Amino acid sequence: MADRTQIQEAIKNQGEVVRKLKAEKASKEQIDEEVAKLLELKAQLGGDDGKHQFVLKTAKGTRDYNPKQMAIREKVFNTIISCFKRHGAETIDTPVFELKETLTGKYGEDSKLIYDLKDQGGELLSLRYDLTVPFARYLAMNKITNIKRYHIAKVYRRDNPAMTRGRYREFYQCDFDIAGQYDPMIPDAECLKIVHEILSELDLGEFRIKVNDRRILDGMFAVCGVPADKFRTICSTVDKLDKMSWEDVKNEMVNEKGLSEEAADHIGEYVSLQGGMDLAERLLQDQKLSQSKEACAGLSDMKLLFSYLQIFQVTDKVVFDLSLARGLDYYTGIIYEAVLTQVGVVPAPVSTEAQNGAAEETVSVGSVAGGGRYDGLVGMFDPKSRKVPCVGVSIGIERVFSIMEQKAEASAEKVRTTEVQVMVASAQKNLLEERLKLTTELWNAGIKAEVMYKKNPKLLSQLQHCEDSGIPLVAILGEQELKDGVVKLRTVATREEVDVSRAALIEEIKRRTSEI
Beta strands in 251-379, from DSSP E residues, in sequence order: 274-275, 318-321, 334-340, 367-373
Asked if 453 touches a copy of itself (CB under 8 A), the answer is: yes
List the one residue from 1, 122, 412, 503 that touches a copy of itself (CB under 8 A): 122
List the one residue from 272, 291, 385, 480 that touches a copy of itself (CB under 8 A): 385
Asked if 380 touches a copy of itself (CB under 8 A), the answer is: yes
3-state secondary structure 440-487: HHHHHCCCCEEECCCCCCCHHHHHHHHHHHCCCEEEEECHHHHHHCEE
List the one residue from 1, 48, 50, 59 that touches a copy of itself (CB under 8 A): 59
Question: CA 41: distance to chain centroid?
Answer: 30
Smallest gap from residue 350 Cβ to a copy of itself (A) = 21
Question: Given the complex with a copy of itself, which of 258 and 446 has the nearer CB atom?
Answer: 446
Stretch touching a copy of itself by CB under 8 A, among 246-254, 350-358, 436-444, 499-507: 436-444
Question: Distance between CA atoms of 62 and 79, rounded to whole angstroms?
Answer: 25
Question: Given the complex with a copy of itself, which of 175 and 321 has the nearer CB atom?
Answer: 175
What CA–CA distances, in Å, run from 7 to 12, 15, 53, 58, 160?
9, 12, 17, 20, 21
Asked if 446 touches a copy of itself (CB under 8 A), the answer is: yes
CA-based diameter of the chain, in Å? 94
Smallest gap from residue 274 Cβ to a copy of itself (A) = 25
Q: Are 394 and 173 in contact (CB under 8 A)?
A: yes
Asked if 514 touches a copy of itself (CB under 8 A), the answer is: no
What CA–CA distances, in Å, run from 398 to 170, 227, 370, 386, 393?
10, 38, 13, 35, 15
Asked if 447 touches a copy of itself (CB under 8 A), the answer is: yes
Question: Distance between CA atoms of 498 and 489, rounded to whole angstroms?
Answer: 5
Asked if 132 touches a copy of itself (CB under 8 A), the answer is: no
Question: Given the complex with a copy of itself, which of 448 and 502 has the nearer CB atom?
Answer: 448
Asked if 448 touches a copy of itself (CB under 8 A), the answer is: yes
Question: Given the complex with a copy of itself, which of 66 and 411 has the nearer CB atom?
Answer: 66
List the one residue from 20, 282, 414, 458 that touches a copy of itself (CB under 8 A): 20
Q: Are 421 and 509 in contact (CB under 8 A)?
A: yes
Asked if 510 touches a copy of itself (CB under 8 A), the answer is: no
Question: Given the complex with a copy of itself, which of 185 and 363 has the nearer CB atom?
Answer: 185
Stretch touching a copy of itself by CB under 8 A, among 205-213, 331-339, 395-403, 440-448: 440-448
Question: Distance between CA atoms of 296 and 224, rounded to whole angstroms?
Answer: 15
Q: Of 278-317, which residues contact a copy of itself (CB under 8 A)?
A: 308, 311-313
Q: Binding residues for a copy of itself, how many (CB under 8 A)?
A: 112
Stretch touching a copy of itself by CB under 8 A, among 99-107, 332-340, 345-353, 480-488: 99-107
- Residue 449 pairs with which residues in a beta bridge? 422
List the one residue from 27, 78, 116, 255 that touches a copy of itself (CB under 8 A): 116
| Phi/psi of residue 380, nearest 5 degrees | -65, -25
Asked if 170 touches a copy of itself (CB under 8 A), the answer is: yes
Burial pattern 53-65, b for ≥16 Cβ within 10 A else e, equals: eeeeeeeebeeee
Smallest gap from residue 343 Cβ to a copy of itself (A) = 29
Q: Are 33 and 164 in contact (CB under 8 A)?
A: yes
Q: What mask, x for binding a copy of itself by CB under 8 A, covers residues 190 to 209?
A: x--x---x------------
List the one residue from 115, 274, 300, 387 that touches a copy of itself (CB under 8 A): 115
Smallest gap from residue 17 Cβ to a copy of itself (A) = 5
Question: Distance between CA atoms of 481 and 483, rounded to whole angstroms?
Answer: 5
Output the CA angle 40-107-263, nearest 5 degrees. 110
